[in-house]
Amino acid sequence: MSENASEIFVFDTGPLSAFAANNWLGVLKAVVGKRRAVIPDVVAMELREGMAKDSRIGAALTADWIEHRELTSDAERDAFADFSELLVVGTRNIGEAAVLAIARTMRATAVVDDSAARKAAASFNVKYCPTLRLLCWSIRDGLLTVPLVAELADDLLASKYHYPFPSGGFERWAKENGLLDGN
């Protein structure tokens, strides 16, 4: 993959829930490869809540390639407070704030699809990556194919996951945005 092999990915609830509920979690595992995948305890809690609606989400909780981690240090708690100020409204976006806090303190990449979380990451210079970018990198590296990712994207769109193109539009969107180029 185009990124550093020692990289750590910190996943948000949304991508893990959507991939697990649509039986595509194995694709994320392949994309992560030998890198570390981490979720904060808040994301684990949100995944458990999601299991009440869809038991398939439990696969993300029991996956042996995903490390669960609490925010324990002062730096992590301070970072969580910073991101909470930007993102948390009531009980919304607590997971995103925790993901960004861990990503900032571990110098990891936050895997977030929510635009508010991406903007918050950018405001604190935290490295982030939406799932579509991860998938496109994997296509360029020969790990995944365009037809596979197009099918995956259509499945997620059918389950009401939000992507910036309609069903059947992945390849066109990726080409228009230069995400399948080797640059």
Topology of domain 8-129, CATH: Rossmann fold (3.40.50)
| Strand order through the sheet with 36-40 | 66-69, 36-40, 8-11, 109-111, 128-129
Tens digits of residue pLDDT in 89-98: 998 999 999 9
Token pair for 107: 């110098």
Residue 182 pLDDT: 67
Give the chain's residues under pLDDT 50: 2-3, 5
Spatial neighbors of 48 by CB under 8 A, at least 6 apart, are 61
Give the model confidence (pLDDT) of 75-109 as tens digits: 999 999 999 999 999 989 999 999 999 999 999 99
Overall size of the chain counted in residues: 183
Domain boundaries, the chain: 8-129, 132-177
Over the Cα atoms of the chain, what is R_g?
A: 16
